[in-house]
Amino acid sequence: MTTQVYKVYIKATPQRIWDAITTPEWTARYGYRGLVEMELHPGGAVVGRANEGMLALGAPEIALDGEVLEADPPHRLVQTFRMLMNPDLAAEGFTRLTYELKEGKDGVTALTVTHELDGAPGLAALMSGQFEDQGAGGGWAWTLSELKSLLETGTGFAG
């Protein structure tokens, strides 16, 4: 089984980070900058829409999809995740993605992202940042770094 685990410490409340992960107003401001809509209850849909740049490169309107398995705001979110950006990634099927938020001291929250990528080698490579030099983004490390920057400074890497 291939599992990627990323942990970042963010000077923000768990609720603020939760909102940034789960609302399209925030998801459009960091990482791949797509509008991600979630129905935050077990069985709820997860739909990630491609941004304008992705669409211009021929990406489908729906870039990712999944289903909410657990939602315990603002502490834990578990969902399935399927990348639809190209047919090879889509064919790998659904993976499991878990966000865990733990409030620490001095207003710092630990965000741990665990992405279980068994049977999805292409997605594992993408999410590990292997294709960053080819314009495919820096995966989870990039996304979480920009989320941290956005929440702590008010701007992401693109300004």
Stated pTM of the model: 0.92
Q: What's the number of CA atoms in the CB half-sphere (13 Å) around residue 31?
A: 23
Pairing of strands 95-103, 76-83: antiparallel
> Cis link prior to 74 (omega < 30° from 0)?
yes
CA–CA dist 128, 80 (Å, integer): 18
- 39 pLDDT more than 60: yes
Summarised one tens digit per residue, pLDDT across range 65-74 is 999 999 999 9
What is the pLDDT, as a whole number, of residue 157? Answer: 81
| Rg of the chain (C-alpha set) | 15
Candidates 1.20.1260.10, 3.30.530.20, 1.10.10.10, 3.40.630.10; CATH matching 3-153: 3.30.530.20
Q: What percent of the chain has pLDDT over 90?
A: 77
Least confident of 9-23, 62-76, 115-129, 130-144: 130-144
> Distance between CA atoms of 142 and 158, rounded to whole angstroms?
12
